[in-house]
Structure 1
Amino acid sequence: MSFNELPGSDTTDDEGQLKRLLMTRYTVGQGGAITLEDEVKFETQINPSEFKHSHRVGYNTTSDMGAAKTEPKFAATEPEEVSFSIVLDDTGAVEDVPGQPSEVKSQIDLLSKVVYDYVNDAGEPPHVRLLWGTLIFFGRLRSMSTQYSLFKPNGDPLRAKIELSFVGASSSSKNRLVNQRASSNTMTRTATAQEGDTVASICAQECKDDSFERQAQVADANNLSSLTDLKAGDTLVIPPKSNDKASDFAAPQPLPTLPAAKGAPAAPARV
């Protein structure tokens, strides 16, 4: 879905971009395919006044005891993070969002359903897409903090400020693109097995090399006894390619031949 295809002209500007920040729950299927749950969404009454988008790079700074300072060595790029705060208001001073409740408590319940409440099938918090103007961010909630102010005589809140933080969630296809930086096979990295994956398919996807020697290196690095017995969700270490390390896996050998009778060609032995 592109910006120009977003429904609701009252929530988009002349260029089709969202006037209000929109949070939509989504699911990730096999192979990393994303499916938006358009009916499970939350649109802000008031846009954030500030928006923080962080990028981090991890380094290995481990050094031996007593050694001089060690030059930091690149380890991995860490997930991006986005954080901001929004205000919910039921005083009548701010226009309600069409199709959403006006009461602060009900708005918080809807927001929680989109970003926080556990998804039954997965048993974990949902994935969320953030969309606002030119921003598009796929991630999951890291933290949610609510501060209430202004109350009705019965104690119901009339206004609340909610601080939200999200961590980026990449699909497997995006992870493979990121791993192309290591396509020279000079860096150790990891890969997550999908349903039906084998060591051969992992090597083909991540290393562009599914030779038996490369499969054996990956199997050795992960203490695998089989090249095909992988479970969905298993995380495999993909070691740097090396031609020096001997593998515990023996390369396939040709079938032995039985002595042939006089005048008859040799025949392969039955196994």
Structure 2
Amino acid sequence: MATLEKAVIEVLAGSRAGQPPIAVLFNPTEYTRERSNAYKATAVPGLSSPLIQFVNGEADVLSMELFLDDYTDVDQPGARGPKKPVNERVKDIAALLDIDRDLHAPSPVRFLWGPLRFDAVIEKLSQKFTLFRPDGTPARATLSVTFKEYLPLARQLRDPRRESADKSKRRQLTASEDIWLLASVEYGDPALWRTIVDAPGNDIDDPWRLGPGDWLIVPPLENGNGSSNTV
């Protein structure tokens, strides 16, 4: 018979890093993982609808409910001392939202359960208590937890996934194009139309007077040091 693997929450950095992971004594019955992108709508003169531009990817979000119960939870594997009651275990998880004294921010954590490995910060925690001891101490709780993906800067810089124009090009406007649409197509941002206007070889006094058949030089975008971006 296969051994039941327990989900755990590990602290990755800060003053609590290296401490024993927090075991989830009841594995979640389900979890939801979401991914989204951020887009910007830019109005362009002469077009009936705005241009939709990709801005950046949003962090993945993992959400689930964790169930804690003093009367049915088994001892944590490898735990030292007596089993912690529900109210103390809730405090341990809630403390992951506190500002760490070493990081000056909440500690990043890792949620591990079988093949699932999710590095994150805890964005939100909702606590619901449904059973109590005679003295009012909580004995049963349901925690709704939202983890937001945590990617260190060094890891993101290794895989920036950015692309841009790297060569000067000549483009001829069609009947359905203008300089704003051309900037959107070439650079991904119609607001960069002035880069085309200022390009050597483009003698443009009034961009509104450009029309079908006009040829334009589309220069590469430049970095802050003057060097061209490359794909």
The 1-side partners of 2:102 and 2:46 are apart by 51
Distance 1:72 1:214, change over 3 A: closer
1:71-82 matches, within 5 Å, as 71-82=51-62
1:169-180 matches, within 5 Å, as 169-180=150-161
8 Å Cα contact 1:24/1:36 also seen in 2? no
Distance 1:88 1:59, change over 3 A: same
Instruction: Identify the structure with bigger relative contact order (alpha carbons < 8 Å, sequence gap 6+).
Output: 2
How far does residue 95 in structure 1 lie from its aligned partner after superposition? 1.1
Task: Find the counterpart in structure 2 of residue 216 from structure 1.
Answer: 225
The 1-side partners of 2:42 and 2:229 are apart by 23
Task: Find the counterpart in structure 2 of residue 133 from structure 1.
Answer: 114
Q: Does 2:133 align with 1:145?
A: no
The 2-side partners of 1:121 and 1:187 are apart by 41
RMSD between superposed Cα atoms in Å:
3.0
The 1-side partners of 2:160 and 2:10 are apart by 28
Unaligned runs of 5+ in 1: 1-12, 29-34, 189-212, 219-239, 243-271
The 2-side partners of 1:137 and 1:94 are apart by 24
1:99-248 matches, within 5 Å, as 99=79, 101-113=83-95, 115-182=96-163, 214-217=223-226, 241=229
Amino acid across the alignment from 2:137: D
Q: Deviations over 1:43-72 (max 9, x none)?
A: 101011110111111111132589521242
Amino acid across the alignment from 1:24: E
Amino acid across the alignment from 1:94: D
Task: Find the counterpart in structure 2 of residue 97 from structure 1.
Answer: 76
The 1-side partners of 2:10 and 2:133 are apart by 30
Misfit runs of 4+, over 4 Å: 64-67, 183-188
Equivalent residues, number? 174
Task: Find the counterpart in structure 2 of residue 20 from structure 1.
Answer: 6
The 2-side partners of 1:58 and 1:214 are apart by 23
Q: Deviations over 1:53-111 (max 9, x none)?
A: 111111111325895212422111111111111011101x2312131743111111222
Q: Deviations over 1:114-173 (max 9, x none)?
A: x22221012211101111110111110110000001111100011000000011111223
The 2-side partners of 1:97 and 1:40 are apart by 11
* SS in structure 2 at match of 1:87: strand
The 1-side partners of 2:149 and 2:5 are apart by 23
Percent identity between matched residues is: 22
> TM-score of the superposition, structure 2-length normalised?
0.65
Unaligned runs of 5+ in 2: 167-185, 189-221
The 2-side partners of 1:65 and 1:145 are apart by 47
> TM-score of the superposition, structure 1-length normalised?
0.56
